[in-house]
Structure 1
Amino acid sequence: MRLTEISYGSAQPIEGYGPGFFRLGTHVLRGACLITPWDAGPWGGLEDLATPLAMAGRIDVLLLGLGAEIAPVPRAFREALEAEGIGVEPMNSPAACRTYNVLLGEGRRIAAALLPVV
């Protein structure tokens, strides 16, 4: 069997998550957060459309982690992002973390907007 080491370049993969937090290396983010290959920080949740829209032209897909369970994406949120050429993929937050890491390892132009699992 051949093992291939995954390289993320200068980007940080999501290494862990738990009740109310996400961890990237030694950096712990509490609450809702937005993670990109170049930055990670707090996010205002589904009411904060400005932050993901600011990434237009830099990402192709926003992985939307909706907490412990998948839920419908507000129509205005989805339509605003899609109008800027950003696809929205809703899923639960644990799945969004795993998917982010896989796509990051492939060098894809992605970001993850994550609501915490409580």
Structure 2
Amino acid sequence: MKLQPDRFDVQAISGYGPGWVGVGTDRITHSVILSSGGERIDWEARSYEELGPGHFERLAQLQAEVVIFGSGLRIRFPRSAWLRPLAERGIGLETMDTAAACRTYNILAQEGRQVAVALLLELPD
């Protein structure tokens, strides 16, 4: 799906599909963290099963009010123990499938919110 943001002064997701996400003119084919502040960080997880506490610790280090977790092709919630670093810093986390996470991130970033999105990019079986 192609997305057209109304405001271009923040890093926006320009499109997405199974196994990829577009950021501007770049096509990213690996899991990634994006922030409205312009950060783009490789997120070293190819599947939900590879996730662990360190992945969420990395999210807690971002300067964000809220983190959106795009859990892949379907919604899967992180284990509560993984969320401790976020809770200790007062950072909210919303979980949704990756497609919904892309749309929600764009809306919040365009509103000027300090938001980050962690996208787990998977291919269908």
- Which residue is equivalent to 2:40? 40
* TM-score, normalised by the number of residues in structure 2: 0.80
- The 1-side partners of 2:70 and 2:100 are apart by 7
Q: Give the RMSD, CA atoms, in angstroms.
A: 1.6
List gaps (5 residues or longer) in structure 2.
46-50
Does residue 1:85 correspond to 2:84, yes or no?
no
* TM-score, normalised by the number of residues in structure 1: 0.85
Percent same amino acid at aligned positions? 33
Offset at residue 6 of structure 1 (A): 2.4
> Superposition pairs for residues 1-118 of structure 1, below 5 Å?
6-9=6-9, 11-37=10-36, 38-45=38-45, 46-47=51-52, 48-55=55-62, 58-118=63-123
Contact residue 17 and residue 99 of structure 2 kept, 8 A: no
List gaps (5 residues or longer) in structure 1.
none
- The 1-side partners of 2:11 and 2:114 are apart by 14
Offset at residue 20 of structure 1 (A): 1.5
